[in-house]
């Protein structure tokens, strides 16, 4: 079991490296597209119709992939002031239930998110001119939830790391 947990954690860490690179690339592309659009709009007086819809899609993907990076690094929003003053055994129990609730939430996002995103291809367009379906943006939700689920699979290791971090901070 411990070996499997370490393998999953290794896979999760490798996946996170790729997500870092993809997110960084998306940020650069977003920056380039927006600068290109600003140049055409304000200097050439010829606004481009595709800049805003494309930058919206990239913004959604960048934000949701960034959440999975923060989640893997343990930088997500958490209220730890109360829990850190409890005994270690109770901290482990609370952390375990916290992770279980997050897993349930992410599972629902994946379970309901993929069908919604796939069916939204014909419902709404982000851009009428470009004919970009809303599913391009909506697919970011279940994909990032799947990545977060992968990050959460090695729960025992995560709890141990979290408690070790707290011990280092106290010292």
Q: What are the pLDDT digits (tens) for 8-41?
A: 888 999 999 999 999 999 999 999 999 999 999 9
| Range(s) of the domain holding residue 53 | 2-170
Q: What are the pLDDT digits (tens) for 59-118?
A: 999 999 999 998 888 776 666 667 777 887 888 788 888 888 988 999 999 999 988 888
Tokens of 38: 């600003």
Nearest to 106, CA basis, from 155, 58, 57: 155
> Is pLDDT larger for residue 129 or for residue 111?
111
pTM for this entry: 0.80
Cβ proximity of 117 and 141 under 8 Å: yes
Domains contained in the chain, number? 1
């Amino acid at each position: 079991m411990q070996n499997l947990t370490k393998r999953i954690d290794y896979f999760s860490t490798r996946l996170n490296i790729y997500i870092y690179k993809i997110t960084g690339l998306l940020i650069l592309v977003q920056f380039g597209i927006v600068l290109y659009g600003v140049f055409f709009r304000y200097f050439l007086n010829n606004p481009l119709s595709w800049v805003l819809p494309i930058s919206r899609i990239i913004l959604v993907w960048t934000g949701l992939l960034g959440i999975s990076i923060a989640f893997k690094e343990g930088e997500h929003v958490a209220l730890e002031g109360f829990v850190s003053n409890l005994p270690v055994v109770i901290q482990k129990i609370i952390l375990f239930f916290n992770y279980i609730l997050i897993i349930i939430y992410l599972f629902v996002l994946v379970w309901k998110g993929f069908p919604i995103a796939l069916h939204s291809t014909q419902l709404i367009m982000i851009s009428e001119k470009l004919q970009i379906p809303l599913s391009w943006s909506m697919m970011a939700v279940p994909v990032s939830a799947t990545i977060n689920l992968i990050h959460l699979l090695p729960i025992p290791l995560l709890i141990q790391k979290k408690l070790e971090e707290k011990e280092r901070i106290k010292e």
